Amino acid sequence: DTAVSQTPKYLVTQMGNDKSIKCEQNLGHDTMYWYKQDSKKFLKIMFSYNNKELIINETVPNRFSPKSPDKAHLNLHINSLELGDSAVYFCASSQGVGGRSVGGYTFGSGTRLTVV
Amino acid sequence: GQQVMQIPQYQHVQEGEDFTTYCNSSTTLSNIQWYKQRPGGHPVFLIQLVKSGEVKKQKRLTFQFGEAKKNSSLHITATQTTDVGTYFCAGFRGSTLGRLYFGRGTQLTVWP
């Protein structure tokens, strides 16, 4: 069983389209995250939810909207996609928030988004 | 701005050589975590250091947390081709509501 699963794994789409990425964790963790990894491998936090409550909302264009229907799921919807949105998006989960997490973060396998 | 600095950005070694990556923060960290990301893969949690001066070992990997809790290092003894990947440190400052600041990573290449 995959601990943190995200779909789709690859996403190629045209500029201006709207797309969603889904994430689910079966670890019973109470906190979930979205990270963006650029071509230089930099991992940048975008959003974090703790027990369905948004606790981190970094400086991200409001074209990005996260949704957490329950603590096992965290989705990311992106409107009006731009070329600069091309990156790998990782979902992650942890028990406890951020650096207080017990056992660190568990990352999903990533969604490689390519905007053409 | 970047909260945790990590060097070097790239390191190429011959199999059997040692490797070290360093993390530095301008402010005191509550704890630091280390992750490994294989090429094409996702980051995988390796370890967390909490105490000042703490040293932990995992087989050929040695992790250190500085006395002032502002720096950390990961040392790999006698690298193997399976060590290839990007190693990230991630620092936590207790006052920042859960933000874990990732360093930019060190990409390790090991030549056979």
The CATH number linked to B9 is 2.60.40.10
Q: A4 to chain B: nearest residue by CA?
A: B42
The answer to whether the CB atoms of A55 and B94 lie below 8 A apart is no
| Residue B48 touches chain A, beta carbons under 8 Å | yes
All domains in chain A, ordered by first residue: 4-115 (2.60.40.10)
Average pLDDT over residues B28-38: 94
Residue B25, pLDDT > 90, answer yes
Distance from CA of B5 to the nearest CA of A (A): 12
For residue B96, CA distances in Å to A26, B29, B30, B38 come to: 27, 11, 11, 29
Lowest mean pLDDT: which of A77-81, A93-97, B63-67, B76-80? A93-97
Contact indicator for B86, B25 with CB cutoff of 8 Å: no
Write out the residue range of the structural domain in which residue B99 sits: 4-111
> What are the structure tokens assigned to B48, written together?
């967390």
pLDDT of residue B63: 98
Phi and psi for A84 in degrees, rounded to 5? Answer: -70, -10
AA identity, residue A49: Y
Contacts of B110 (CB under 8 A, 6+ apart): B12, B13, B14, B15, B79, B80, B81, B83, B84
